[in-house]
Amino acid sequence: MTFEMTEPARRPAVVVGGGGSIGRAVVGRLAALGHPVVALDVRGGPDVIECDVSDEGAVRTGFAAVRERVGVPLVLVHAAGLTGQGGVEDEDPATWRRILEVNLTSAYLCVREVVAGMRQAGWGRMVFVSSVTGRFGGSALSGPAYATSKGGLLTLSRFLARDLATDGITSNTVAPGPHDTPMWTVLDAELRHRMLAMQPGGDRGPGDPNDLAATIVHLCGDEARYITGATIDVNGGQWMG
């Protein structure tokens, strides 16, 4: 059975990784549009439900709290991420597993918590924050697990787009390049300069998380109903594929 939502902007939303720079910007934009929105993040806070989204039990508990606060989520934005560094000999197996669990397995666990409600509603939006490293394969700056997990999000999103198309549910990814986030600012200043110099217009600096959030939120609305299985590259021209 399906039901009609008379106020599209009032659809409940959950932002996974909502305590980070990108996640907070998405939460703010969704809230400004009138969405009841809840953030989940391993770092809890006054407006953030503390949740290790790599842990199956914690995800169940976290989403139960989300439903209690705002109802059944019809918008899922997954922006959780943990990076690594070096090559395959530098990242030990425990680090490899942890990064894949946080970046990729958590997306699978979160989808399982929302898909039934979206199906019942006959409407749903899923947006996954991947990375430009998932496009070109990454480097020692990201490490192999980060690049692999972000590439995996692209494939998971496409699988969901096909699998859920007849249910009125879309699934897309955004693949950001350098953005003004803690993951960017911890890099050496000279390295940041060299990275920006490799892309067109790099002298304008890294991307703004608020601008990236605008693209993500667009994919969460009715106007994006015909966009599914897509990857939107937001990288200043670093990757054109």
Q: How far is CA 154 from the centre of its chain?
A: 11
Rounded to the nearest 5 degrees, what angle is found at the Cα of 98, between the Cα atoms of 112 and 45?
Answer: 70
- List the end-to-end C-alpha distance of the chain, in Å, as a whole number: 41
Cβ neighbour number for residue 13 with a 10 Å cutoff? 27
In the annotation, is 226 catalytic? no
Catalytic residue chosen out of the listed positions 26, 146, 183, 184: 146
Identify the H or E element spanning 156: helix 144-163
For the chain, the farthest-separated pair of C-alpha atoms sits apart, in whole angstroms, at 57
Catalytic residue set: 146
